[in-house]
Amino acid sequence: MTISRTKKLVGATAAAGLLVALAGCGSAPEDDTTDTAAEGMSDFKACMVSDEGGFNDKSFNQLGLAGLEQASDELDFEIATTESASASDYEANLDNLVAEGCEFIVSVGFLLSAPTVTAAQANPDVEFAIIDDWADNDFDGETDAPNIKPLVFDTAQAAFLGGYAAASYTESGKVGTFGGAKIPPVTIFMDGFQLGVEYYNEQNGTEVEVVGWDIESQEGQFTEEFAANDRAKQVAQGIIDQDVDVLLPVGGPIYQSAAEAIRDSGGDIALMGVDADVYETDPSVADLLLLSILKGMDVAVYEAAVQAANDEFDVTPFVGTLENDGVGISSFHDFEDMVDPDLAAELEEIRAGIIDGSIDATSPASP
């Protein structure tokens, strides 16, 4: 099913130039890590362990790996990866990478926080980075090991823009969202999305409703995992059944199940992506995508890997924001002619307001 609405078939091509920005879960773990550069090209070895989504999720893990591969291509060092089928694999996968001689290890995701801290404390000569967490498991405001670099993102800022765009686009007056696990790197998208919808209502005198999440209670709809499966499709269908016409799934490949539910419904429903520009990473759903909310994990991993390879590793946290292009939104791609012609300028103004602090896009999960 291809989106066919014509109500907003007007010249919004300016959106493409404005909205392009840098970013932002299983298969069984392999017995041996996979070398992705020839042995002996460098004495330096960098490695990565996925969360349960695996590296072919076309989103979260895949984007992080892209950053590591870019650094490897440029500096000609060896990399290795290992996938996790479940949380029970994280500790062993990290230990295996240490045993294989990895000098720099990236953990992909909040759920690897405790195992990463344990590995870092046991191996002070190995440098670690973790995506989406401060590695502060005792909540004292400091990273729990001196050799861990946090790579975190204020995705509420970008999701605010996405929520505003969704509220502008909807014709039913209802937009929806649901998540994988109920963890801060997921709920921060949902918070920002709702804040953007509410801001649209304030500015335009409308009453667009968000289905699937409530920022005040921090309660909503979740699949409890990061997998494209029947559970994710059922959650998506339940939200679609409430007359939403824009749907934001937050959790790696669960968007694929949402796309199935949209096509099965036969309705005129737009999908939104997260982390990567899903229009580019998964053309099979491109016709459904209004836009993607981007998180620059590739940029953060690339920078950390280059530092480590050049013996300049710095544990100062990377915090992605709209201001440093660590988060953003994609273009509208095939929807450029179907959004309000004034939307691009409005989003640019909002972006500037978030950066200068005049517009509050703060989530309880903001870094």
Residues 281 and 201 reside in one and the same domain: yes
Does the structure show a pLDDT above 70 at 35?
A: no
pLDDT of residue 78: 96
Does the structure show a pLDDT above 80 at 41?
A: no
pLDDT of residue 279: 97
pLDDT of residue 32: 43
8 falls within a domain: no
Q: Which residue has the higher pLDDT, 154 or 85?
A: 154
2 falls within a domain: no
202-234 pLDDT per residue, tens: 999 999 999 999 999 999 999 999 889 999 999
Residues 125 and 248 reside in one and the same domain: no
4 falls within a domain: no
Residues 158 and 185: beta-carbon distance below 8 Å? no
Does the structure show a pLDDT above 80 at 19?
A: no
Mean pLDDT of 67-89: 95
pLDDT of residue 3: 39
Tell me the backbone φ, ψ of residue 270, rounded to 5 degrees.
-95, 145
Residues 174 and 101 reside in one and the same domain: no
pTM of the model: 0.85
Burial of 328 (0-12, 13-18, 19+ CB in 10 A): buried
Does the structure show a pLDDT above 80 at 267?
A: yes
Mean pLDDT of 75-92: 94
Work out the number of other CB atoms within 10 angstroms of the CB of residue 231. 15
pLDDT of residue 5: 41
pLDDT of residue 353: 98
Q: Across all residues in the chain, what is the average pLDDT?
A: 89
Question: Which of 103, 119, 153 is a domain's end point?
Answer: 153
Of 122, 21, 20, nearest to 325 by C-alpha is 21
Q: HEC profile for 221-244? A: CECCCCCCCHHHHHHHHHHHCCCC
361 falls within a domain: no
Does the structure show a pLDDT above 50 at 22?
A: no
Does the structure show a pLDDT above 70 at 298?
A: yes
Helix (H) or strand (E) holding 299: helix 297-309
Q: Report the sign of the C-alpha dihedral through residues 2, 7, 10, 12, in that order.
A: negative
Does the structure show a pLDDT above 60 at 29?
A: no
Question: Which of 128, 153, 178 is a domain's end point?
Answer: 153
Residues 6+ apart with CB under 8 A from 203: none
* Three-class secondary structure of residue 104 per DSSP: strand
* Three-class secondary structure of residue 101 per DSSP: coil
Distance CA 53, CA 129 (A): 19
Confidence band for 190, pLDDT divided at 50, 70 and 90: very high
Residues 96 and 119: beta-carbon distance below 8 Å? no
Mean pLDDT of 266-278: 95
Does the structure show a pLDDT above 80 at 284?
A: yes
CATH number reported for the structural domain that contains residue 336 in this entry: 3.40.50.2300
pLDDT of residue 138: 85
126-157 pLDDT per residue, tens: 999 999 999 998 888 899 999 999 999 999 99
Residues 63 and 23: beta-carbon distance below 8 Å? yes
Residues 134 and 146 reside in one and the same domain: yes
Range in 15-24, 161-170, 295-304, 308-317 with the lowest mean pLDDT: 15-24
Residues 6+ apart with CB under 8 A from 277: 23, 292, 294, 330
pLDDT of residue 252: 87
pLDDT of residue 60: 85
Residues 103 and 137 reside in one and the same domain: yes
323-335 pLDDT per residue, tens: 999 999 999 999 9
Of 109, 115, 37, nearest to 73 by C-alpha is 37
Mean pLDDT of 156-181: 98
Distance CA 40, CA 155 (A): 39
pLDDT of residue 42: 57
pLDDT of residue 140: 86
Domain of residue 52 covers 34-153
Q: Which two tokens stand for residue 285?
A: 């759903």
Work out the number of other CB atoms within 10 angstroms of the CB of residue 11. 9
Q: Rounded to the nearest 5 degrees, what angle is found at the Cα of 87, between the Cα atoms of 83 and 91?
A: 75
pLDDT of residue 36: 42
Mean pLDDT of 45-73: 92
Q: Is 102 left (phi over 0), alpha (psi -120 to 50) or beta?
A: beta
What domain count does the chain have?
2
Residues 101 and 245 reside in one and the same domain: no
Distance CA 20, CA 22 (A): 7
**Alpha-carbon distance values, 214 to 130, 193, 207, 279 (Å):** 28, 10, 15, 28
